[in-house]
Amino acid sequence: MQQSGNTELAAEFADYFQIEHQTTVNLVPFPAPLPDQDGFLRLIPDAFKMTSELSLLNNSSIRTFNAVKDLSVDLAHYLQQQARKLDALTHYVLRSQDDPACRFFTFSYGGSGVQVWMDNPVALDQLYEVKLFLDNNDGALFCLGQVLDVTEQPATEPEQKTGYLVKILFRRIRDEDRDMVVRASLHEQSRQLKRKAEQRQLQAQQSQQ
């Protein structure tokens, strides 16, 4: 069983590459109507605003560090330590926003939205507050999403339950957060391709033995 919604929004979802990867996402139903962009910006939790500013500051510091070639070894080491501490602080603050009561896991994600596994069907066009937590310290974001598609996944084993793959389009999101998700999806794609290449190399070595 499959339910599909607005074709224009579906085309918008297809505008960005999706990487199949499981990561954590929080979904909280949001009452309609969808706010305008200014109203959405007022909804963003302070933790996400703060960590976004810290990330920009850290990236700016790294660019400055890379541009200065005459730094002493001690100063270079100190700046690298501070950058790592800032990354750790950002990761801790964002992970504290993860609520187990509304936690789900993605099937895929990309710059336009996510596909999420759910135990129960949801209504098309349902709005959600979305908190997406990316792996490998790639960051996290807060946005508003809308359900575009619900696909039933029948159980393949007797002990399994029927699941639902829910496609959610990002309807309100900051540009910098969309860019972050795009970068994270490309990073994950590179990691997956590297693992596949290593597996092929290992299999080739084993076949020669």
Write the CB contacts of 163 (distance below 8 Å, at least 6 apart in sequence): 117, 118, 119, 152, 153, 155
What pLDDT does 56 receive?
59
Closest CA to 137 of 18, 51, 19: 51
Residue of 80, 88, 94 lying closest to 50 (CA atoms): 94
In order of 125, 161, 170, 174, the CA distances from 147 in angstroms are: 5, 22, 9, 19
Q: What is the pLDDT of residues 10-59, one digit of tens each?
A: 999 999 999 999 999 999 999 989 999 999 999 999 888 876 666 655 55
68-93: pLDDT as tens digits: 656 566 666 776 777 677 666 777 77
Q: What is the pLDDT of residues 110-158, one digit of tens each?
A: 999 999 999 999 999 999 999 999 887 778 899 999 999 999 988 777 7
Looking from the CA of 106 toward its CB, the CA atoms found within 13 Å total 23
Identity of the amino acid at 10: A
- Please state the domain extents for the chain: 2-42+103-208, 46-96
> Mean pLDDT, the chain, as a whole number?
85
Please check the confidence at residue 62 and state whether its pLDDT lies above 60.
no
How many helical (H) and strand (E) elements, i.e. helices and strands, does the chain have?
Answer: 5, 8
Q: Which fold, 2-42+103-208?
A: Thrombin, subunit H (2.40.10)
